Each structure stands twice: as C-alpha cells, then as structure tokens.
Amino acid sequence: MTETLNETSPYGAPHGENRSVMIVGDVEGLTTAPASFGRLAWRRFRRHRLAIAGGLGLVLITLLFFLGPLLVEWAPDQTNVPDRMQGPSAEHWFGTDALGRDLFVRTAQGGRYSLLIGALVAVMATAIGSAMGAVAGYFGGAADTLISQVINLILIVPALIALSVFSQTYGSDAVGLSVILALLLWTRIARVTRGVVLSIREQEFIMAARAAGARHTRILGRHVLPNMVGAIAVEVTLLLGTAIVLESTLSFLGLGVRPPNASLGTLVADAKGSIDDDPIRVLGPGFFIVLIVLCVNFLGDGMRDALDPRAKTERG
Amino acid sequence: MFAYVTRRVLTTIPLMIIALYVVFIGVSLTNDPLGNFYLCLPRCQEGYDRIVEVYNLDVSIWVRPFYWFSDALTGDLGDSSALGLPVSEVILNRGKNTAILAIPAFLISATVALMLSVYSARRQYTVGDYFFTTLSFIGLAFPSFVLALVIQNIFGVQTEKWFGIKPFNTGRMSGDGFFPLLRDMALPLLTLTILSISADSRFGRASMLETLGQDYIRTARAKGLPERRVVWKHALRNSLIPLVTLWALTLSALLSGSIVTESIFSWPGLGPAFLQALGDTDLDLILGIVLFTGVLTVLFNLIADVMYGVLDPRIRLN
C-alpha cells in the first residue's frame, strides 16, 4: 500500500479521482456511462495526431511491401543482366541492381523480411520479458535476485557486440536471428514489468484474491497481467523499432540475414559500393528503415500518452 | 561509499566471467583453429602441435576458457592471431584512436543536447520546441549506418575535395598532422554527434520539464530569483540526475568503439578491429575487446551512480 501512496501528490487528489473527473462529461455524471479504461485510452490516442499518422504509415508500408510486388511482373530473384544498374523507370520503379534484379520487388521482399523479424522479436522478447519481470516482481527474494543478475549479465556487454558474436553463426535466417535478438532485448520489458508488478502486488485486490484462496498462477494471470498490459504495449512498440534497427545493422555488416534471403540492411550493404554514382539506390532501402522506425516511435509515443495518464510530458 | 564501490565491483566480476565464458564457447564452437592443418597433416605436424598447445586444444572446450582466464589474471590477454600482435597492444592502439573520436563527440553532443533540452523545456509547445523535437524524433529513427551513409554521400561524395571518401573499414588515413586528422575525423564525428544529440535531448527535455513543474521551482521564482538562476542553478541540477545515467551509457558506448560509424568512415578504432576480428575468428582479440567494453560499461555505470550522490545528497549509496 505504501508504494501507491507515495505516487500520489501530497496536496492533490489521488490519481484515481483525477481520472474519474476526466470521465464525467456532465456535472453530476449520471447521464453518461463511465468510459472504460480502454475507451479512455483510445480517446486519448486518437487526439495524438502523430501517433495516428504513425499507425497509418506503418499499415501503408506493410501493404506496400506485401501487395506492391503483385502489381509488377518481376520475381525477386529474376536476373536480367542487360538491364542491370538502371535508374528508376515506369518498368522498374526503383531501378535494377548489379544483376538486373528489380529493386522495388527486392526492397519489398527485404522489407517483409525485416518486418517479420521485428514482429517475431517483439513477440518472443515480450513473452520472455514479461514472464521474467512478473516472476521477479511478484515473488521477490531469490527469484528477483537471480533474474536481476541475469539482466545485469546481458547489459554488461554492448548489444551489438554480443549480437555479432552469435548471429554470425546462429542467425543466418529469420527465426535464428529473431531468437538471438529476443534473448538480448527482453531485459527492458522485464524491468518495466517488474516495476509495475511490484506496485500492483501490494494493492488490496491482490490481497483479496489471495484471501479468497487463489493460486499464484491465477493471481498472476487474472489480476496482475491485465494491469501490466498498458506499460507492456508501449515497450513492445518501441522494441519493434529497436529490433528492426539492430537487425538491419547486423545485416548491413554481413552478420545477420544472409543470401539468398535479403532484408533492408542487406540491400543497403549490396548497393554500398555504388554510392558515388547512385546514392538513391543505396539510400532507398535505408529510408524505408527510417520511415518504419519513425512510424513505430510515433505510435509508441502516442500509446504512452494514451495508456499512462501520468506521463503527459512527452507530447509531439 | 568505498564499501559500496567495492561491493559493486565484486558483484560484477562473476557476471563478467560468465559473459566471457559464453562468448568464448560461442566463438570456439563455430571455429576450428586447426582448419588449415588437416589437409597437410603429416608434413605440418610441428605447426599443428604448436596450435594445439597455444589454444589448449587438447582439453575439453568447456575447460578451455579457464586457461584464458588464468592468463588474463596475470595481465596476458594473448596474441591476436590475425595481426600477430599482443591483444593488449592492439586494444591500446585502437582504443586511442577511438578515444580521439569519442571524447570530442561526447563533449559536443552532451553540451548541445543540454542546451537544446533547456531551450525546448522553457519554450514548450512553441515553434522552436516543435522544430527541435521533430528533428530529434527523426534523428532517433536513423539507424547509424543509414545516417553515416547519408552524411558520407552529402559531404564525402558531393564535396570530395574537402573530406574525401575512403573504402569501408580499411583504416586509411589522409596523412599525418593535425589538419589531415581533422579532415578524417569530421564526418564520423558529425555522425556520432547527431546520433547522441537526438537521444539525449529528448530525454533531457522530459527531465527538465518535470523539474520545472515542481513546487520548489515555483518557490524559487516566487522569492524573486532571476529566471536564469532558477533554470541554470536550481532546475538544472535536479534534471541532470537522469541524464547522468544516459551520459555514462553514451560515453561507454562511444569509447568501446562504434562498429558501424567507424567502419563506414574507415576510422581505425576499436569498432572496425572487432568487426575484423570476427571475420578472422580471432578469438583472443574478440575476447579482449569484449572484456574491455564490459569493463568500460561497468566502470561508467559506477561513475554514474557515484555522480547521483554528488548531485542529490538525499541519495545515499549503500
């Protein structure tokens, strides 16, 4: 209980009451049903124009990567040497590479691969991180110490260095690379979850559940988990961006995705040699990464504002 | 505080050992130093035996790291197999180059980021604030290799006379002396600075905003202190606390060598050395660099914690 008390300001009303003031539209609050937390969050999220733009942009990019190649007749690995190294044209939207492969189709394929890895990492790291964080926060004691030390262990070596050591041999395809990335990136979510669970576990409804004889698994799953969803959702979004950046960086260095597969990072690395003559070819796939990460960050920022009413400092 | 520092260092040592052990196994499992010898075996028995002896290949792979640990404890980090030099010498030389780049990058970015966060926080939701916030958002979205390539293209290719463009990770320098050094430094420095400014200034803005909204700031204003004093003396000190951790992380990351930026601009620092060591599966050099970066990370985290106590006397280290 002490922890929740500390969070409220000594002068103002506790946050719970603040929230209810916002819900009530009319003076007495009798005519409108109180909005659920989800609806309130959605309302706040909708007001965040950049977040909407980010979400929309992400959908558009995904559609472009998945549906775009259907509109052109080229296959991603179809070489056509006489037409190599061409600039953008009606036929080849992004031009062709050193083997005459259509760069738009290659970029779309690489983009799908990057998004796939990002999504896989986000799912796996979230699963590991929230489970670890919940266990550490809920049980405390030895479990907490052990998990905290594992986190410290992972943080001791810079991520890129650890990644390059292991991805070189175990990470040449999407699943392998995602597992390695997830094993390194779950720490942040674990720490956030641990913090949230630490404050939840002291509250009355947990005590009530325990008094009613609920088992630990039930308390964690039914009572603790729903309260962590907001904090985790924000972290997952940001994690997606981090994973895509790290994956493309590794692939750029030749340590991640390897031929015949290609990700956006590989495409940049492939074209790196011709940056003198043809910067667009190199920077095109690179700007897609920037665009994706930008959208993801906007989305995450909007979600933070929407799901955490107290974090209202970061706006646009 | 001395007890605190000692305890922190002591708890880190086992973690460091586990990290190095995992890296050692990870690299050795996939690399056979004897790979070149199998085909010529009867003739090159001597060389074969020597490699077996140097890398302790006659013992189990799970025991082998401990030989490296016992050597490392005596200060011997082994020799780089690809470069033929002692690892400590390679790290020292490359680390010096990295530091030449990292320290100015850190000083510039920390100063600029601080100025920007104070500016943005004091003029929240004005055009200037939106401008810099958007810029930092965009900067944050750039993976280092894309930003480095963009900068290389704008300044290195289009104005080749000024900065020149060097092949990926060759470490070629323009020449001796201060001005050629400056010429080689300019673009990687710009890249690293932009990257850290975008990360730091967003964080700094949030922290400054939170501090400026607190009661004691209102009190300071109410008793008639000039605004400059309120911001730079009263607010700054408190809003620095979260920034210090970030700075410690930034500095330790910069000093460990930025693999991507240094490689793209062919700066002969630790990052490219690590990349090359990976390519050559130069086990001792890889381990040496992992140890070095790990020690740096721990050291700077510790410095950040000690700085906490200095900035905020309420925080007791125990």
Angstrom distance (rounded) from CA B23 to CA B281: 12
Ordered by start, the domain boundaries in chain A are 37-306
A161 reaches B (C-beta below 8 A): yes
Q: What is the pLDDT of residues B39-52, one digit of tens each?
A: 777 778 888 888 88
Looking at every residue in chain A, the average pLDDT score rounds to: 79
What pLDDT shows up at residue A22?
47
Tokens linked to A237: 């979004």
Of the candidates B26, B137, B274, the beta carbon closest to that of A297 is on B137
Tokens linked to A126: 């979230």
Q: Name the minimum distance, in Å, from the CA of B310 to any CA of chain A.
A: 24
Nearest CA in chain A to B15: A153
Q: In this structure, which amino acid lies at residue B71?
A: D
Share above pLDDT 90 across residues of chain A, in percent, rounded to a whole number? 21
Structure letter (DSSP) for residue A36: P
Q: What is the pLDDT of residues A259-287, one digit of tens each?
A: 777 888 888 888 777 766 777 777 788 88
Q: Which pTM does this prediction carry?
A: 0.83
Question: Lowest-pLDDT range, A67-71, A140-144, B166-170, B199-203?
Answer: B166-170
What pLDDT shows up at residue A31?
62
Of the candidates A149, A156, A293, the beta carbon closest to that of B297 is on A156
Side-chain-side CA neighbours of A19 within 13 Å: the count stands at: 18
What pLDDT shows up at residue A35?
65
Q: Residue B31: which pLDDT band, with cuts at 50, 70 and 90?
A: confident
CA distances from A83 to A16, A75, A101, A257 (A): 66, 15, 8, 26
Q: Residue A312: which pLDDT band, with cuts at 50, 70 and 90?
A: very low
Helix, strand, or coil (residue A315): coil
CA distances from B22 to A165, B28, B30, B65, B77 (A): 10, 10, 13, 9, 17
A245 reaches B (C-beta below 8 A): yes
Angle at A10 between CA A9 and CA A13, to 5 degrees: 65
Residue A29 backbone phi and psi in degrees, to 5:
70, 30
Q: Name the minimum distance, in Å, from the CA of A238 to any CA of chain B.
A: 11
What letters, b where the CB count within 10 A reaches 16 and e where it falls short, cover A122-160?
bebbbebbbbbbbbbbbeeeeebeebbebbbbbbbbbbb
Structure letter (DSSP) for residue B40: G
Whether B293 sits inside 8 A of A249 (CB atoms) is no
What letters, b where the CB count within 10 A reaches 16 and e where it falls short, cover B83-92?
beebbbebbe
Of the candidates A166, A168, A289, the beta carbon closest to that of B143 is on A289
Q: Which residues of B touch A265 (CB under 8 A)?
A: 143, 145
Q: Which residue from B33, B69, B65 is spatially nearest to B52, judged by alpha carbons?
A: B33
Q: Which residue from A231, A38, A218 is spatially nearest to A130, judged by alpha carbons?
A: A231
Whether A276 sits inside 8 A of B157 (CB atoms) is yes
Nearest CA in chain B to A275: B153
- CB atoms under 10 Å from CB of A223, counted, come to 18
> Which of A61, A117, A290, A308 to mutate to test binding with chain B, by most B CBs within 10 Å of its CB?
A290
State whether CATH 3.30.930.10 applies to domain A37-306. no
B135 near B235, Cβ under 8 Å?
A: no
